[in-house]
Structure 1
Amino acid sequence: MTLPPDDRPLRRHRPFVLLCAEQTAGSVGRQVTALALTLLAVTELHAGPFAASVILALTYLPGAVLSPFAGVLVDRVCLRRLLVAATALQALVVGSVPLARAAGHVTWPHVYAVAAVSGTLTFTLSVGLQAALPRVVGPRRLLAANSVLTGARTAGQIGGPALGGVLVGLAGTGPALAVGGAAYAVEAVLLFALPQALDTAAGHRDPARSAPASALRAGLDVVRADRLLYRMVLAGAGLNLGAGAVAALYVLYATDELRLAAWQLGTTYAAFSVATVLGVLAAGRFGESLGAWRATRICGLLAGAAIFLVPAAALGGAFPLLLAYQLGYGLAATVWSVSMTTLQQLAAPAGLQGRVAGLTQAVLLATVPVGALGGGTLAAALGDVTVLVASAAVALVSAAALWAPVREGRAAGEEARLADQPQ
């Protein structure tokens, strides 16, 4: 069931404004928690590189493994209740760490459990919110809504680490984690204020409750049948595979081989943040003028091509080339993400939004660690530059595959539909 039509501007659309506030609060909570939990492990549990890596892996691994099953859950239960319960549980899970620390009983199993459970809940929320947005704003305003929500998340991603660092510096890791838990509690309150209509069925639900495997196949059938969506998922996997390898080698390559100073390296990362903000601002207008399908194809190529600037930096002009890479990739990848998410939501039938979002998210997340591990392993044998060139080639070829003709003509239909949207 879609919520009653609401033609007010998005900035005056109460449910959408609540989602924007929730995205900012949740993003801040995740950033503060990730930083404070890692610092607690390093400073109080004396974590080495491996233990710190395990915490990061446990944060993201559930998204790759469990997202499809989260999609089944999202399509079967009352959506608003699920979102509220997940954020409230996340507040309790994160809040358990400062309580245990105050009692002097923080242990490695506890830290690992918090990382894994929090990661599971984060990606469950991501799937649920992707399913909720089409029902909140309707299909005609999805492109603009996704752009604004990405901006709200970006604000938290930029400000969250700084806030976490200040909190740890002034009060320690325990109070910082308490603030992270409080941010999740605020998120739960905002989600509770969403319309109760989200707890009604979005489409036909099987009263017999088919087995999870059958339910997953229904979502997979949607992805496989829609050639546009199928190609975007494969192209996104290739882009993430190449980008993951580059991310794994970037710091070592920039410092050891290119001899960049710490301030130069930090500036390149700041350039990526700036590019992300610019991408959020450009995504809506770019998608309106060209259509989401053309925007996805063009930005996929630009993102893949930008990666070649990283190995090119070995030839000279390392600092400006890496700045150009972060700016170009950050801008193109942000527009790509907004446009692809919009097309995915338009392609998924009511009642299958969660499963389609979960399957897509699983594929896109799984390729990042695979690329990182593969890139690091190959670089030890072949050298950084060789692997960086190969990674850029994988990303570019994957994006170029989107330019092959789409027989079913779905791309043209969705593009025309978006072009007519009143934003």
Structure 2
Amino acid sequence: MRLLRVPGFASLLVGQSVNAIGNWVAIIAIWGFAAFEFDAGAGDLALLFVVLSVPGALLGPLLGVPIDRLGPRRTLVLANVLGALNALVLTQADSYATIIVLALPLGLIEALGAASLDSLPPRLFDDDDLVSANALLGGADDLAIVVGPLLAAVVNAGWGLPGAFLVDAATFLVGAVVALRLDVAPLPPSSPVDRSAWREVREGAHLAWRTRGLRWTFAVMGATYAIWGVFGVVEPLYVRDVLGEPATAFALLQTVFGLGLVGAGLALAARGQRLARPRYVALATIASGMAAVVYIGTTWLPVAFVGVFLWGAGVAFFYAPAKTLLQRYTPVAAHGRIMSINQSLEPLADMAFTPLAAVALIRGDVRLLGVGAGVLLAGIGFIALLASPSPSQPEVARRAEGAAAVRRSRPASR
């Protein structure tokens, strides 16, 4: 694949996969193993999720300014170095309350790293290769869902919580090293550099609102994130109460979901160039919703495995093309701000809809809520299909021209 011949990109894929696996080791350590070791209650766990979500949700859009000013390569290196330092500090935690406090910066660090990574492909590749690049980067991340929990169990058994955080710190440093090797062109000067950061944030928000393609894509992604937040509550209860299976079955279902993500991501990387169009994103949303219905709607474990695999594939066919649309509808100089808004949408949706799902389940049926959420997601996709913008808008061409100008000027990496 010719994308792998771009200097540093193959190393970035390997480094990103290693980094994501380390992040999963830390997440499993904080979420699961630490809860057992320190006898954490439901309130502690809820507070942990708030701590991890709120900073990225509320402050995430501000992170786009340094990405656009410094360039995504530099901010990706910065995010990984900060992540390594934070992981090292977490090795000193001696209570669950300490873990919660020390984990506070993680939400912002992860948002900075993810938005920086999402801003890289248009600086490295032609427009026709964006779907493949996004799919490969997504597959590198998704591989962690398959490998991360297993490695977390091994690390925790051998070295405990400090070992998990040391692994996370080491993998963050791997991410920083591979990012340094990238050859990323700087932007040609196009605007004064003495503008205030707040003005640049407002410009990014204004761009997202006034550009029809961005507005449509954010609406579909935000609605999808909201449904995912509902499933975050429904899934473990469905496995326990409807399927009557133990926690190991839930972990195995998540692994199969990850296999669907990775497999579909590889297919997208090979043949998905034409799928980064609004109507295909809408169709993938419909397919994802219906696969979720198959998954949650059954009481038979083999059918649940088929449904969760199809759901993973549907999510992959939705996410990489939708991210590509955000890149195509946005001038290169504003990619950091737009991708940072995207990074804030999911934690915002989690904060809003996860509690609603919990309240609905006080008297409601788990399977009914899950099936209803899947049907709603498919309905959102159908509405989005009817309202989808044309893929050949002038704004897309302007973005492609800006990216070409970036690739023509390569005096220094940024």
Identity %: 21
- Find the partner of 2:231 among 218, 234, 246: 246
Q: 1:227 and 1:52 mapped to 2: Cα distance?
A: 39
Amino acid at match of 1:71: G
Q: 2:71 and 2:269 mapped to 1: Cα distance?
A: 31
Equivalent runs, 1:297-308 vs 2, <5 Å: 297-308=282-293
Which moved further from structure 2: 174-183 or 375-384? 375-384
Asked if 2 retains the 8 angstrom alpha-carbon contact of 1:240 and 1:371, the reply is no
Does structure 1 residue 221 correspond to structure 2 residue 203?
no
- Find the partner of 1:295 among 277, 280, 305: 280
Q: SS of the residue aligned with 2:192?
A: coil
Cα-to-partner distance string for 1:19-44 (whole Å, 9 max, x where unaligned): 21231122022111112234563344
Per the TM alignment, residue 117 of structure 1 is displaced from its structure 2 partner at its CA by: 0.9
Distance 1:241 1:291, change over 3 A: closer
Corresponding residue for residue 19 of structure 2: 26
- Find the partner of 2:329 among 347, 358, 376: 347
Q: 1:304 and 1:10 mapped to 2: Cα distance?
A: 32
Amino acid at match of 2:254: Y
Q: 1:406 and 1:167 mapped to 2: Cα distance?
A: 47
Asked if 1 retains the 8 angstrom alpha-carbon contact of 2:64 and 2:115, the reply is yes
Per the TM alignment, residue 184 of structure 1 is displaced from its structure 2 partner at its CA by: 0.8
Does structure 1 residue 393 correspond to structure 2 residue 381?
no
Q: 1:299 and 1:23 mapped to 2: Cα distance?
A: 25
Per the TM alignment, residue 169 of structure 1 is displaced from its structure 2 partner at its CA by: 0.4
Distance 1:292 1:61, change over 3 A: same
Per the TM alignment, residue 341 of structure 1 is displaced from its structure 2 partner at its CA by: 0.8
Equivalent runs, 1:5-404 vs 2, <5 Å: 9-39=2-32, 41-98=34-91, 100=92, 106-108=94-96, 110-195=98-183, 197-198=184-185, 200-201=186-187, 204-212=190-198, 214-260=199-245, 262=247, 264-285=249-270, 287-290=272-275, 292-310=277-295, 312-313=297-298, 317-404=299-386
Distance 1:162 1:344, change over 3 A: same
5+ residue gaps, structure 1, are: 1-7, 419-423
Cα RMSD of the aligned pairs, angstroms, is 2.7
Q: SS of the residue aligned with 2:105?
A: helix
Asked if 1 retains the 8 angstrom alpha-carbon contact of 2:122 and 2:130, the reply is yes
Asked if 1 retains the 8 angstrom alpha-carbon contact of 2:146 and 2:258, the reply is yes
Distance 1:407 1:259, change over 3 A: closer
Q: 1:268 and 1:44 mapped to 2: Cα distance?
A: 25
Asked if 2 retains the 8 angstrom alpha-carbon contact of 1:228 and 1:410, the reply is no
Q: SS of the residue aligned with 1:380?
A: coil
Cα-to-partner distance string for 1:73-109 (whole Å, 9 max, x where unaligned): 21123443322222112111111232x25xxxx3455
Amino acid at match of 1:159: V
Amino acid at match of 1:330: G
Cα-to-partner distance string for 1:179-200 (whole Å, 9 max, x where unaligned): 21111112112222223x55x4
Cα-to-partner distance string for 1:150-181 (whole Å, 9 max, x where unaligned): 12112233212211210110122212211211
Q: 1:413 and 1:167 mapped to 2: Cα distance?
A: 49
Which moved further from structure 2: 298-307 or 8-17? 8-17
Q: 2:87 and 2:81 mapped to 1: Cα distance?
A: 10
TM normalised by structure 1 equals 0.85
Q: SS of the residue aligned with 1:46?
A: coil
Which moved further from structure 2: 405-414 or 136-145? 405-414
Amino acid at match of 2:63: A
Q: SS of the residue aligned with 1:352?
A: helix
Aligned length: 399
Please list every run of at least 4 consecutive aligned residues from structure 1 whose deviation after the TM superposition is greater than 6 angstroms.
none
Asked if 2 retains the 8 angstrom alpha-carbon contact of 1:241 and 1:368, the reply is yes
5+ residue gaps, structure 2, are: 401-414
Asked if 1 retains the 8 angstrom alpha-carbon contact of 2:295 and 2:306, the reply is no
TM normalised by structure 2 equals 0.87
Asked if 2 retains the 8 angstrom alpha-carbon contact of 1:238 and 1:399, the reply is no
Which moved further from structure 2: 363-372 or 228-237? 363-372
